[in-house]
Structure 1
Amino acid sequence: HNTHYGFMKKAILNKKHILVEKSITLNSDELGELITLAEQNNVIIGEAMTVYHMPIYKKLNEILKSGTLGRVNLITMNFGSFKEYDMKNRFFNRSLAGGAMLDIGVYALSVIRWFFDSKPDNILSQLKTAPTGVDEQASLLLSDKEGQMATVMLSLHSKQPKRAMISCENGYIEIMEYPRAWEAKITYTDGRTELVSAGENSDALYYEITDMEKAVNGDKNVMCLDYTADVMKIMTRFRQEHGIIYPEEE
C-alpha cells in the first residue's frame, strides 16, 4: 500500500489511466491529491476492489431497489485470517503498511458502503495491536444519517468466516466469501429461502478490467471512486484515533 501513491502520481503525470490494487493509497490525503491530479490530467484512476465489480453485488442492488426486502437496516461483517507471527511479512510489518484495516478491513467497509444509503458518519472502534504497533485485530460500529448501522470484526491472527449479513425489513441476505462472492442466500421473514447467483469468482479480475474499460470510455461512475474515497476516510480516521502512523506519514 505504501508504494501506490508514488507510482500513481508518476503515471498520472504521464497521462496514464490507473487501476491499482487495494488499498488504493495509505490515507485520504494521498487519495484526495491523486483524484485532483487525475482530473487535471484527464485520466481515470480506480481501485481494484472486487466488491464494486462482481456481478452478484450489482444483482443484489437490483433486488434491493425492487423493494422486495424493504430497506437495509443492519449489516454485519466478519473477516479473520490466521497469519503466523512473522513481524517481517507485510501483514504485520509497519514499514510495509501492515495491519488488518488496510489489508482486509477495506473489503468489509466497501461492502458496507455499497449497501448504505450514504457514507457512515458516526464511527466507534476498538483494536488490539501487534508487537510492531499495527492493528492486528479491530472492531467497528458504524451508522449513517439514515439510521442504517453496521458492525465489523477483523483479525489477522484469528480465523473467521468471510461473511456478510445484510439485514432488511423483510428478510436478510447472507454472502459467504464476500471479497469474491458469486452467490448469496436470501432468507425471508416467513422462512422461505432463495439462492441468488451471478458471475464466477475466478473471473474477479476480468470484471474489474471490464469496468475500467467502461470508465476509460466515458462511464466514470462505474469505478465507484466516491465510495473508495469514503472508505479511505474511514480507515484514515480509524488509524488516527488509535495513533497508528506509518513511516511515510511521520
Structure 2
Amino acid sequence: MTIQKTYNWAILGCGKIAKRFATDLQLLPNAKLYGAASRDLSKAENFASELNFEKAFGSYEEMIADPAVDIIYIATPHSHHLEHSLLCLKAKKAVLCEKAFAINTKEVEQMIQASKENNTFLMEAFWTRFNPSFLKVLDIIKSKELGALQHVKCDFKFFATFDEHHRIFNKNLGGGSLLDIGIYPVFTALMTLGVPDEITIDVELGKTGIDENIEMLFKYKNGNSANLASGFKCNAFNDSEFYFTEGSVRISRELQVPLRIGKKGKFTEIHCEHGKGLGYQNEAAHVMDCLDQGLTESPMLPLSFSLDLIKTLDRIRKLANIEYPNHDL
C-alpha cells in the first residue's frame, strides 16, 4: 500500500469560494488545513476557526513566508491573481489559482513565466475539468460511440440584484459575467471543440460598464460550432449539451443530476460517482498527485490550455468593448 505524502495547504483570501474549497479539502486524507490569510486578521481567524485551519495570518506575505506551507490556493478577485500568484511562485510555493486565471493574456504569460523560472507548480482552479460527468463526456467524444462531435451548447446564468459595489459588478475587481461565469461555457467549448476560428457576440453592458449578459457563437472551419452564454439577468438551467452525428449528451452543473444520453430516439441516464463534497476536492487531489510526481504543471489542465482560454476571453472582450482599469489588453 502506497503511503501518500501529506501537504500543508494554505488559503489566500477568505471569501465564499475559499470556504467551499476548504470544506472539500477536509475530505482528503493527505491534505492538512494549515493556514488561512486575509488582509483582515479577524476575518482570517474566524475562517481558520470555522474550518479547522491550524494558523491564521493577517497578511498574505506572512503566510507565504511560512516555510511549512506547501500549496497555496488563491481565492482573491481576478484583478489580484497576477500579483498574488507572483508572490507565491517567487517564494516557490505551489499555486492553485482560482479562475479566471488573471484579467488578460499578458498577465497569464507573466504567471507562466514565473512558474518556469522558479520551477514551481502552477494550475488554474477549474473544478469542472475534474468533474466525473465532464470526464465521461470527454470519454464519449474520444471513443466516437456517438459519432463525431459537431455542436456544443452551454449556458451559465443567474439573477443578481444590481449592486455597484459588489465584486461581480465592479470593473476594478474584474467584474462582469464573462470572467466570472462565462468562462465556464468558453472552457467547455475549448476543451471539446478547440480554439474557434471565428467568434461573434451580442453583449449587454450595464451601468458600471461590465457585461451583464453576453451571447457567443463560436465557428470552426470544419463546420463545427458552439452557442455559449452567460449573464446576471435571469436564472437558467445551466446545462451543457453536446450534439454528435449519432446522438447527444446533456450534463448539469448539479452533481446529483445524472448524465443524459440520446441515441436513435432513445434516452438513457448515467449516474456518475461524485462522492461527497462539492467537487473541489477532485482538483485539489490532482494537484497533490502532480506534486507527488514532481510536476510543475498539470497534464490534465496544462498551462498551454489556460493560455488558449485567456486568449479566447481577450478576443471576446475586444468584440464586446469590455475594458478594465489598469489591465489593458
**TM-score under structure 2 length normalisation:** 0.71
1:183 and 2:261 aligned: no
Residue 64 of structure 1: CA displacement?
2.4
- Please, which of 126, 140, 143 is the counterpart of residue 202 of structure 2? 126
Partner SS for 2:167: coil
Q: Distance in 1 between matches of 2:238 and 2:181?
A: 10
Alpha-carbon RMSD across the aligned residues, in angstroms, is 1.8
More deviation in 83-92 or 232-241?
232-241
Distance 2:278 2:169 in 1: 29
Unaligned runs of 5+ in 1: none
SS of structure 1 residue aligned to 2:169: coil
Instruction: Show the counterpart of 2:313.
Output: 235
Shift of 1:91: 1.2
**Structure whose alpha-carbon radius of gyration is higher:** 2
Structure 1 pair 66–51 and aligned structure 2 pair: CA distance change class (3 A): same
Query: For the structure 1 residues 156 and 172, does the alpha-carbon distance in structure 2 shift closer, same or farther, using more than 3 Å as the test?
Result: same
Counterpart of 2:324 in structure 1 is: 246
Structure 2: give runs of 5+ residues left out of the alignment.
Answer: 1-77
Q: 2: CA distance between counterparts of 1:167 and 1:201? A: 30
Tell which has more relative contact order, 1 or 2 (C-alpha 8 A, sep 6+): 1
SS at match of 1:3: helix
CA distance in 2, matches of 1:80, 1:141: 16
Q: Match of 2:289, SS?
A: helix
The equivalent position to 2:113 in structure 1, one of 29, 36, 46, is 36
The sequence identity of aligned pairs, in percent, is: 25
Are residues 143 and 224 of structure 1, via their aligned partners in 2, closer, same or farther at CA, if it must alter by over 3 Å? Answer: farther
- TM-superposed deviation, 1:55: 2.0
Q: Give how far 1:96 is off.
A: 1.4
**Residue 16 of structure 1: aligned partner:** 93
Where in structure 2 are the equivalents of 1:178-217 lying within 5 Å?
Answer: 183-200=258-275, 202-216=277-291, 217=293
- Counterparts of 1:201 and 1:236, CA distance in 2: 36
- Bigger shift: residues 23-32 or 106-115: 106-115
* Structure 1 stretch displaced more, 22-31 or 184-193: 184-193
Residues 233 and 93 of structure 1: is their aligned pair in 2 closer, same or farther, counting only changes over 3 Å?
same
Q: Does 1:76 align with 2:149?
A: no
Query: Whole-Å Cα distance in 2 between the matches of residues 41 and 110 of structure 1?
Result: 27
Amino acid at match of 1:186: I
2:234 aligns with 158
Shift of 1:67: 1.9
Which one-letter code corresponds to 1:131 in the other structure?
K
Q: In the comparison of the two structures, how many residue pairs are matched? A: 248
Indicate if the aligned counterparts of 2:164 and 2:170 stay in contact, CA closer than 8 A: yes
What is the DSSP-based 3-state SS (H/G/I as helix, E as strand, rest coil) of the residue aligned with 1:124?
strand
CA displacement at 1:201 relative to structure 2: 7.0
**2:236 is paired with a residue of what secondary structure?**
strand
Could you give the per-residue CA deviations for residues 65-91 of structure 1, whole angstroms, max 9, x where no partner exists? Answer: 222111110001111110001111011
Question: Could you tell me which amino acid in structure 1 is paired with residue 189 of structure 2?
Answer: I
Corresponding position of 2:165: 88
Note the alpha carbon deviations across 1:202-244, whole angstroms, 9 max, x for none: 2411101111112222453123332222221111121122222
User: Who is 1:147 aligned against?
Assistant: 223
Alpha-carbon distance in 2 for matches of 1:164, 1:52: 13
Pair 1:53 & 2:133 matched:
no
- Pick from 262, 275, 300: which aligns with 1:222? 300
Q: 1:19 to 1:89 in 2, by over 3 A?
A: same
CA distance in 1, matches of 2:99, 2:167: 14
Q: Which moved more, 1:233-242 or 1:72-81?
A: 233-242
Larger displacement relative to structure 2 (212-221 or 34-43)? 212-221
Task: Indicate if the aligned counterparts of 1:215 and 1:223 stay in contact, CA closer than 8 A.
Answer: no
Q: Contact between 2:258 and 2:269, CA under 8 Å: does it hold in 1?
A: no
